Amino acid sequence: MISETLIVEKGVSAGDPWVTVESRNVREALSGLKNDGYTLLVFLTCVDHLVDSSRQWPARYEVLYQLRNLETREQIRLRAFIDGEPPRIESVHDLFGPANWEERETYDMFGIVFNNHPELTRILMPDDWVGYPLRRDYPVGGEPVEFSEEHEMWQTAPEKA
Amino acid sequence: MDTIAQGVTVTKTGETGAFGGELLTINFGPHHPSTHGVLRLIVDLDGEQVRRLKPVIGYLHTGIEKQMEALRWQQGVTVTDRHDYLSPPINNLAYALAVEKLMGVDVPPRANALRVIMSELTRLSSHLVWMGTSGLELGAMSMLMYCFRERDTILDMNEEISGFRMHTSYIRPGGVMADATPRFLEMLDKFCHEMPGHVDEYEALLTNNPIWRSRTIGIGILSPEDAKVLGATGPMLRGSGVAWDLRRSMPYSGYENYDFEIATSDMRDCYGRYLVRIKEMRESVKILRQALDKLPDGPVNVDDRKMLPPPREELETSMEAVIHHFKLFTEGYSVPPGDVYVAVESGRGENGCYIASDGTHKPRRVKFRSASFVNLQVLERMALNHMLADMVAIIGTADTVLGDCDR
């Protein structure tokens, strides 16, 4: 079990138990839970709390680890809050098998840097993509619409080569 | 060692392999017909044996999770249809259950039964597509015709109950889209009656087929320990002999009331995974039969005007109904702040939905835990030291849907 000293806050959200730990203690907490029987990392992801007034958030990025005990079928969600540019947290790819790709995806989508990850590269977006699409301040929207002058330019026939 | 694409480190072409020849690095996909969509594998070959394998994904990334953040709660359902495009109602179900759990809503029993019926029909159609295409890849060409024949019956039923053949959006937060029509129940009854015979037909074509057996037995062995450590779920896990099925282990939508067995196989290879899917199809028909026989009467939606629109006839007589209708379709409803994770069993494994709500009428974050994404990481473990031609069988029985994997 996680030692009480690591726990910053704990609670239950819609029936799902969760604990919050300091981001520097994530590895220690997760290996404690793993030894306690929570052997399956169901998923790992991040929530961007930019301009989120539903409560006071300690930091902008919340990294979540959903763990499951396959014997007792209990689940627990571990949260850690991080800030900074880039936001950094320790990788847990050696503790949980599925974490490798999940961390790459979280890096790809949120720009969270997982220290000591063996291969932290983009996984879903193209390698030369700029920006982190799932951040709340990532611009959403279509391509720039071409008006007037550009439109006329577009209409003129290309010069003969 | 060399880097051929950014971040993709592989053994350099030209290193000496075990047979004294040079290792050869090739691309398998992304447009190879047997990669079930667009999966690219960078494969190091020693002669014809696979020495290293690296899946490269993302070719079908459509930003579904980002889109969900821009859609209101009831609009998001249509997007969930589209990530695992072979099992739309099961994706709907994961999303709907998550939203309902956040709002503390319980749906009526008839809605639950209809949800189970649609889930099982979808599981069948997903397994049928898998079996048809895998048969096609491994030389059993006629499988596709047989499997798509029954799949079409299922799509007809989808059309009857929801109006859509594929992306049904049938299961929604608060219940289902509409009640089952009498014709749908008739079709389902006929289907339950005929389907076991059709599964016998598939078995007659494949189970003792010498080509099918020699291409799948002993190929792509995945030990139960590896499967558990790497987080594999669904037929991948059960094909390795681990009896874990969310419908039984962590029941939802009233699955605890149905009598069915968890299909497992101790063969641990591609053939084992095939046997698991065949057995699951038979069990699905059993569940469908039970659900149909004891389909409860009653409403199919929660009676909550703040969540679901009022019936059409009320709009003409009640001012309150008009206000509710207007509010729902302009602003939508809001969900209390908090976060929740709900997992359901799809044809491929654990299909989960994590939702974080900030109390507004749109989700703060929606994350789909897709079985394909996690199961694909196991591919390397299964494919090492096999022939390149066996890769087709291994990718086939992993049954990844790349739309689900890339989201």
Whether residue A145 is contained in a domain is answered as: yes
Cβ A36 vs Cβ A72: under 8 Å:
no
CATH of the domain at A38: 3.30.460.80
pLDDT of amino acid A146: 60
Three-state SS string over A37-101 comes to CCCEEEEEEEEECCCCCCCCCCCCEEEEEEEECCCCCCEEEEEEEECECCEEEECCCCCCCCHHH
Of B339, B358, B367, the CB nearest to A43: B367
Determine the Cα–Cα distance for residues A155 and B324; give it in Å rounded to an integer. Answer: 49
Please judge whether A54 and B5 are an interchain contact, meaning their C-beta atoms are less than 8 angstroms apart. Answer: no
CA atoms A38, A44, A49, A53: torsion sign: negative
Q: Which of B191-200, B281-290, B392-401 has the lowest mean pLDDT?
A: B392-401
CATH class of the region B72-302+335-406: mainly alpha
Q: For residues B344 and A8, which has the higher predicted lDDT (pLDDT)?
A: B344
Q: Where are the domains of chain B?
A: 2-56, 72-302+335-406
Residues 305-344 (B) with a CB less than 8 A from some CB of A: 337-341, 343
Reported as a single tens digit per residue, the pLDDT across B156-214 is 999 999 888 888 889 999 889 888 899 999 999 999 999 999 999 998 888 888 888 88
Q: What residues are paired with B4 via a beta bridge? A: none
pLDDT of amino acid B38: 83
How would residue B344 be classed by pLDDT, with cut points 50, 70 and 90?
Answer: very high
> In this predicted complex, what is the ipTM?
0.84
Determine the Cα–Cα distance for residues B16 and B99; give it in Å rounded to an integer. Answer: 55
Determine the Cα–Cα distance for residues B117 and B206; give it in Å rounded to an integer. Answer: 27
Q: Which residues of chain A have a CB within 8 Å of the CB of B83?
A: none
Which distant-in-sequence residues (6+ apart) come within 8 Å of B349 by Cβ? B232, B233, B234, B235, B236, B237, B371, B374, B375
Query: Residue range A121-146: average pLDDT?
Result: 80
Domain that holds residue A26: 7-155
Q: What residues are paired with B16 via a beta bridge? A: B22
Whether residue A96 is contained in a domain is answered as: yes
Preferred mutation among A69, A93, A124 to probe B, highest tally of B CBs within 10 A: A124
Determine the Cα–Cα distance for residues B339 and B404; give it in Å rounded to an integer. Answer: 22
Mean pLDDT of the residues in chain A: 84
Preferred mutation among A123, A129, A130 to probe B, highest tally of B CBs within 10 A: A123
CB atoms inside a 10 Å sphere around CB A147: 8
Determine the Cα–Cα distance for residues A23 and B27; give it in Å rounded to an integer. Answer: 39
Residue in the structure block whose two tokens are 């009831």: B74
Whether residue A142 is contained in a domain is answered as: yes
Which distant-in-sequence residues (6+ apart) come within 8 Å of A37 by Cβ? A69, A70, A71, A72
Q: How many domains does chain A have?
A: 1
Whether residue A1 is contained in a domain is answered as: no
**B70 touches A at CB < 8 Å:** yes
Determine the Cα–Cα distance for residues B31 and B35; give it in Å rounded to an integer. Answer: 7
How many angstroms separate the CA of residue A92 from the nearest CA in chain B? 13
Q: What residues are paired with B52 via a beta bridge? A: B44
Calculated CA dihedral for residues B26, B30, B32, B33, nearest 10 degrees: 160
pLDDT of amino acid B175: 87
Residue A1 Cα to chain centre, angstroms: 24
Q: Using DSSP bridges, classify how beta strands A75-82 and A61-68 pair: parallel, antiparallel or unpaired.
A: antiparallel
Q: Which two tokens stand for residue B162?
A: 């929801």
Determine the Cα–Cα distance for residues B86 and B90; give it in Å rounded to an integer. Answer: 9
Whether residue A2 is contained in a domain is answered as: no
* Among B278, B234, B283, CA closest to B398: B234
pLDDT of amino acid B347: 87
Q: What residues are paired with B278 via a beta bridge? A: none
Reported as a single tens digit per residue, the pLDDT across B94-151 is 999 999 999 988 899 999 999 999 999 999 999 999 998 888 888 888 888 999 999 9
Determine the Cα–Cα distance for residues B278 and B82; give it in Å rounded to an integer. Answer: 25
Across the A/B interface, how many CB contacts are shorter than 8 Å?
Answer: 106
What whole-number percentage of chain A has pLDDT above 70? 86
CB atoms inside a 10 Å sphere around CB A43: 26
Which distant-in-sequence residues (6+ apart) come within 8 Å of B292 by Cβ? B117, B185, B188, B189, B192
Whether residue A160 is contained in a domain is answered as: no
Which helix (H) or strand (E) segment holds residue B321: the answer is helix B319-330
Residues 71-130 (A) with a CB less than 8 A from some CB of B: 73, 75, 77, 96-98, 100-101, 105, 109, 119, 121-128
How would residue B368 be classed by pLDDT, with cut points 50, 70 and 90?
Answer: very high
Reported as a single tens digit per residue, the pLDDT across A81-109 is 998 888 999 999 888 888 989 999 999 99
Q: Using DSSP bridges, classify how beta strands A61-68 and B40-46 pair: parallel, antiparallel or unpaired.
A: unpaired
* Strand positions, DSSP E, B171-231: 171-172, 175-176
CA atoms within 13 A on the CB side of B240: 22
